[in-house]
Amino acid sequence: MQTALRYALPIVFGLALFTLGSYLVVSTTSRSWFEDDVRRRAELAIRGAGDALSQSWARGDRVSVRRVLDDITRDERILAAAACAPDGSVFAQTADFPRSLPCSRFVARSLGNGQARAWNRAERVDGASVYLSALPVLSPGSVPLGAVGLIHDMSYAEERDALTRRAALGLFGVLAVSAIVLSTASARGSLRRFRNDLRNLVRGERSRGEFQPLLQDVRDLAAQLSPVNRAEETGRAWNPERLREVLHEHLQGEKVVIVANREPYIHDRDEHGALRVLHPASGLVTALEPVMRACSGVWVAHGSGPADRETSDKQGRIRVPPKEESYTLRRVWLTAEEEQGYYYGFSNEGLWPLCHMAHARPTFRDEDFAHYKRVNERFAEAVVSEVDRQDPIILVQDYHFALAPRLIRERLPRATILTFWHIPWPNPEQFGICPFREEVLQGLLGSSIVGFHVQAHCNNFVDSVDRYLEARIDRERIGIIHSGETTLVRPYPISIEWPNHWAQESPPAAACRKEVFAELGLKADALLGVGVDRLDYTKGIEERLLAVEQLLARFPQFQGRFTFVQLAAPSRTAIERYQQLNLNVESLAKRINERFGSADYRPVILQRQHHEPPRVFRYLRAADLCYVSSLHDGMNLVAKEFVAARDDERGVLVLSQFTGAARELTEALVVNPYDLKQASRALAAALTMRPQEQTERMRALRSLVSEFNVYRWAGRMLADAARLRQRDRLSQRLGGLASVEGAA
Ligand code: F6P
């Protein structure tokens, strides 16, 4: 308000001067017009009376002169008239001619100094504003008979003057108020623009041109001073301790709440009825479990294990990991119908094939989506019941929860919601076939940040939003502004824990090799290849076996010597496409074994069951090569686990170019899994690679994965969340100031 007044006062003062000047000019001009008018009326009146007046006067006929005077005063603006004799006496006068005006005054003015002339003057008589005229009257022989004095009514001139004054005052008022309103609005506009620019600066969004240099400097400085960035520059390794530091120093040790469909620990009973804990085969769990151990907080997940209920409390809570108990697992119970519609249906028959280019036709059913919605709501409610503040940090995981970010945002508007999509995001054309595409996108845009493994998936997501929603895309900062909210879209390539506790707890590589070889009945000089996956059509397991077949066909030296073992965890077995895959893989393995096998040689060994991580790591450490042949994969953490497992710096990774991991693990032998010739050649190259080269490649890979481990992945996301929260808090304060000022 003060700012507005500072601008408005000089304008108002100037306007006052202008209005006063205008009033004076208008008033003086109109008064002179009135006086001219009066003068002309007086002359006309006397001239109109003409001969009748002079002849009657010359005859001394006072009655006739009086009649003429009465006629003259019929003009509404002439109040009174008097015929004044040259000696100043009254010859005749109308009834209301005031006594205070002596005839001598009129005679003196019009007949003085021996001249006969008209005289006029504005005066106040008896408190009224009048105009006096005196006009000489001559006899037919041009001898002065006297003067006629007229009193004109000037009240109408006064009224007009008052009207002009009021109009001027009104005009002044309107102009002054407009000036105040305009300058206030303009001052507030400038202030708002300034504040928006400042807020944009704080949020790191684009600001108006003139602020750019200053804001960029401030931003750079802030970035330099940011402790999170300083930590990045120190070259310190990312580990649980450093992740905890980020959480404690930059997020005040705030509790992290993760929402993910898959739980990190599944309770089950073995064949003897004894309770056991299983670790699911899931890249998501592989990555997030170490993060939760480091951060503590709550993991909200579907309680899918047969013994989950009996091991949880009434609210579905249990402290995990067993014996360590560093965070809470909150289990959400789903009915069989909910699980069918939400998990098998919309998530895995709809979104999963939609997002993977693996030639599986997505199936969308209304009833599945209704269950998906309901389950997302139930998880959002579970999250809200687990937070202890209005602005918690919530990590939403994966395609099972596309709607949850919006549902959580509705319940907790100040939450920082980081959503990570663990699978690829398709291009807009492909995404467009989803009948619920708008709801899926709107749901995700409830997030503060949406993360993908690679930039290409970020771009696809932004393009999908651009195509199907009314939203503003900030392509410079890769942000989406939708319904007044901003969602940043960022690549965070996921990784594994390093050092890896499963690898550390495993026997030495040589011992693993011995053990595994014995288990599989392999000769000491045998060559072993390994594949580890959920039995999923996106993993390219059929193509992998076909490449093995080609290897044996094209490079017969490996027949009888090379064995490929596939550890395949059954997955989503209620879905027909997975049942089909299971049959295909089985018959393929059978065919290859029949074609190249013998009584004591099985080129393909298929182990279709759940494998606990210690066993997986033993196999990874025992093998000569690991083949990851995904047809399309967001990242693929088995590739990174193979690298983590090989502390002996041996073994070769053959990696599909269609995995996110291929962008980072460039020392692997990168292949197109559909190109069986190329893939089989790569397998042969791996099996014949000199130990020296294996070491060089593995060392480079280990160095990369150790540096870009999962603590860095989580640390970068949490650091971005911390920056976002700082900016939001600052911009809320600026918003608060704005509303205080607005109220003032
Ligand atoms: O890598 C992550 C991931 O592919 C998830 O997207 C998926 O949820 C998980 O692994 C395993 O699948 P599921 O939870 O259906 O067993």
Query: H-type helices in 204-251, by residue range?
Result: 212-225, 227-233, 240-245
Q: Quick one: average pLDDT of 303-316?
A: 98
**Strands 317-320 and 327-332: what pairing?**
antiparallel
Residue of 350 and 10 predicted with greater confidence: 350
Band (pLDDT 50/70/90 cuts) for residue 451 is: very high
Ligand 1 in contact with 646 (CB < 6 A)?
no
Instruction: Among 191-195, 322-326, 364-368, name the one with the lowest average pLDDT.
Output: 191-195
Say if residue 155's pLDDT is above 90.
no
- Those residues with Cβ within 8 angstroms of residue 459's Cβ, 6 or more apart along the chain or in another chain: none
Ligand 1 midpoint to CA 283 (Å): 6
Please tell me what DSSP assigns to residue 666. T
Q: What is the largest CA-CA distance in the chain?
A: 167
Whether residue 353 has a cis bond before it, omega within 30° of 0: no
- Is the shortest distance between the CB of 680 and ligand 1 below 6 Å? no
Average pLDDT over residues 305-316: 98
Query: What pLDDT, on the 0 to 100 scale, is given for residue 183?
Result: 66
Higher pLDDT, 25 or 677: 677
Cβ–ligand 1 contact at 262 (below 6 Å): yes
Question: Is 80 exceeded by the pLDDT of residue 425?
Answer: yes
Radius of gyration of the chain (CA): 49
- 398 contacts 261 by C-beta, under 8 angstroms: yes
Q: Is the pLDDT of residue 663 over 70?
A: yes
Q: Which atom of ligand 1 is nearest to the CA of 348?
A: 15
Does residue 373 register a pLDDT over 50? yes
Please tell me the residue having the least CA distance from ligand 1 atom 1: 283
Ligand 1 near 422 CB (within 6 A): yes
pLDDT: is 235 or 737 the higher one? 235
Cα(261) to centroid(ligand 1), Å: 9
Q: Residue 154: pLDDT band by 50, 70, 90 thresholds?
A: confident
| Closest to 150 in 3D by CA, of 219, 83, 92 | 83
| Predicted local distance difference test score (pLDDT) of residue 198 | 56
Q: Ligand 1 pocket, 398 CB below 6 A?
A: yes
Report how far ligand 1's centroid is from the alpha carbon of 266 (Å): 15
Best CA proximity match to 300, nearest among 398, 423, 416: 398
Out of 10-19, 165-174, 451-460, which region has the weakest mean confidence (pLDDT)? Answer: 10-19
- H/E stretch holding 655: strand 652-656
How would you label 559-571 residue by residue, b for 16+ Cβ within 10 Å and e otherwise?
Answer: bbbbbbbbbbbeb
Cα–Cα distance list, 242 to 177, 291, 716 (Å): 61, 11, 11
Ligand 1 pocket member 423 (CB < 6 A): yes
Least confident of 158-167, 298-307, 526-535: 158-167
Query: Residue 515's CB: how many other CB atoms inside 10 A?
Result: 15
pLDDT digits (tens, 9 = 90+) for 609-627: 999 999 999 999 999 999 9
Question: Comparing 344-348, 357-361, 637-641, 728-732, which segment has the lowest mean pLDDT?
Answer: 728-732
pLDDT value of residue 125: 78
Closest C-alpha residue for ligand 1 atom 10: 282
**Does pLDDT of 207 surpass 60?**
no
Contact 667, 701 (CB under 8 A): yes
Pick from 489, 735, 513, 739: nearest CA to 623 = 513
Inform me whether the pLDDT recorded for 741 exceeds 50.
Answer: no
Residue 47 makes CB contacts below 8 A (sequence gap 6+) with none
82-91, 673-682, 700-709 — which is least confidently predicted? 82-91
DSSP state of 398: S
pLDDT of 57 reads 87
pLDDT for res 107: 86
Can you tell me whether residue 396 is helix, strand or coil? Answer: strand
Instruction: Tell me what the pLDDT averaged over the chain comes to.
Output: 88
Q: Peptide bond preceding 321: is omega within 30 degrees of 0, i.e. cis?
A: yes
Q: Answer whether 571 contacts ligand 1 (Cβ < 6 A).
A: yes
The C-alpha atoms of residue 430 and residue 357 are separated, in whole angstroms, by 9
Burial of 467 (0-12, 13-18, 19+ CB in 10 A): middle
Asked whether 362 lines ligand 1 (CB < 6 A), one says: no
Terminal CA-CA length for the chain: 7
Q: How far is the CA of 290 from the centre of ligand 1 (A)?
A: 17
Question: Does the CB atom of residue 283 touch ligand 1 within 6 A?
Answer: yes
Residues 331, 263 contacting (CB under 8 angstroms): yes
Does the pLDDT of residue 208 top 70, yes or no? no
pTM: 0.71
Q: What is the pLDDT confidence band of residue 708, given thresholds at 50, 70 and 90? A: very high
Contact yes or no for 606/584 (Cβ under 8 A):
no
CA–centroid distance, 348 to ligand 1, in Å, is 10
Query: How far apart (Å, rounded) are the C-alpha atoms in residues 77 and 37?
Result: 11
Confidence of residue 71 (pLDDT cuts 50, 70, 90): confident
Identify the H or E element spanning 567: strand 562-569
Mean pLDDT, range 165-177, rounded to an integer: 75
The closest alpha carbon to 462, from 483, 484, 485, 487, belongs to 487
pLDDT (mean) for 303-331: 97
CB 584 within 8 A of CB 713: no
Query: Ligand 1 in contact with 715 (CB < 6 A)?
Result: no
Ligand 1 midpoint to CA 284 (Å): 6
Residue 275 CA, ligand 1 centroid: distance in Å: 24
Report pLDDT for 9.
Answer: 67
Task: Give CA–CA dist 591/602, Å, rounded.
Answer: 11
Overall residue count recorded for the chain in this entry: 744
Residue with tokens 């000022």: 741
Tell me the pLDDT band of 740, cut-offs 50, 70 and 90. Answer: very low
356 lines ligand 1 (CB under 6 A): no
Ligand 1 pocket test: pick from 259, 262, 265 the residue with the most ligand atoms within 8 Å of its Cβ. 262
Q: What spacing in Å lies between the alpha carbon of 398 and ligand 1's midpoint?
A: 8
Q: Pairing state of beta strands 275-278 and 266-269?
A: antiparallel
For residue 258, name the pLDDT band (cuts at 50, 70, 90).
Answer: very high
The dihedral through the CA atoms of 262, 265, 268, 270 has a sign that is: positive
* Beta-strand relationship, 527-534 and 327-332: unpaired
- Whether pLDDT at 232 is above 60: no
CB-based contacts of 82-89 (< 8 A; 24+ apart in sequence): 82/106, 82/148, 82/149, 83/53, 83/57, 83/137, 83/146, 83/147, 83/148, 84/134, 84/146, 84/147, 84/148, 84/149, 85/145, 85/146, 86/111, 86/144, 86/145, 86/146
Nearest CA to ligand 1 atom 12: 282
pLDDT band at residue 131 under the 50/70/90 scheme: confident
Q: Which of 347, 348, 534, 571 to mutate to test the pocket of ligand 1 (most atoms within 8 A of CB)?
A: 534
Average pLDDT of span 209-214: 49
| Cβ density class 269-299: b for 16+ within 10 Å, e for less | eeeeeeeebebbbbbbbbbbbbbbbbbebbb
Choose the residue to mutate in 259, 284, 396 for probing ligand 1, maximizing ligand atoms within 8 Å of C-beta. Answer: 284
In the reported structure, the alpha carbon of residue 250 is separated from the centroid of ligand 1 by a whole-number distance in angstroms of 30
Provide the pairing of β-strand 562-569 with 485-491: unpaired
CA distances to 297, 380, 410, 512, 588 from 387, rounded to whole Å, are: 9, 11, 14, 44, 50
Question: Ligand 1 centroid to 113 CA: how many Å?
Answer: 123
Residue 658 predicted with pLDDT over 90: yes
Q: How much is the average pLDDT of 379-397?
A: 96
Distance 98 CA to ligand 1 centre (A): 113
Dihedral pair phi/psi, residue 298, rounded to 5°: -135, 135
Q: Does the pLDDT at position 344 exceed 90? A: yes
pLDDT score for 144 = 84
Q: Which of 279, 375, 398, 628 to mutate to test the pocket of ligand 1 (most atoms within 8 A of CB)?
A: 398
- Give the strand pairing for 485-491 and 449-452: parallel
Q: Which of 45-49, 255-259, 392-396, 621-625 has the lowest mean pLDDT?
A: 45-49
Question: Cβ distance 428 to 463 under 8 Å?
Answer: yes
Ramachandran bin of 50, using left for φ above 0, alpha for ψ from -120 to 50, beta for the remaining angles: left
Taking 90 as the threshold, does the pLDDT of residue 211 lie above it?
no
Q: What is the pLDDT of residue 212?
A: 52
Confidence of residue 529 (pLDDT cuts 50, 70, 90): very high
Which helix (DSSP H) or strand (DSSP E) does residue 120 occupy? strand 119-125
What pLDDT shows up at residue 200?
57
Cα 13 from Cα 19, distance rounded (Å): 10
3-state secondary structure 405-448: HHHHHHHCCCCEEEEECCCCCCCHHHHCCCCCHHHHHHHHCCCC
- Closest ligand 1 atom number to CA of residue 536: 12
Element holding 721 (H helix, E strand): helix 710-743
Q: In Å, how far from its chain's centre is CA 564?
A: 50
Determine if ligand 1 sits within 6 Å of the CB of residue 302: no
Answer whether 633 contacts ligand 1 (Cβ < 6 A).
no
Residue whose Cα lies nearest atom 11 of ligand 1: it is: 282
Burial class (CB in 10 A: 0-12, 13-18, 19+), 620: buried
pLDDT at 204 over 60: no
Which of the residue ranges 79-93, 389-403, 431-445 would you say has the lowest mean pLDDT? 79-93
Number of H helices, E strands in the chain: 26, 23
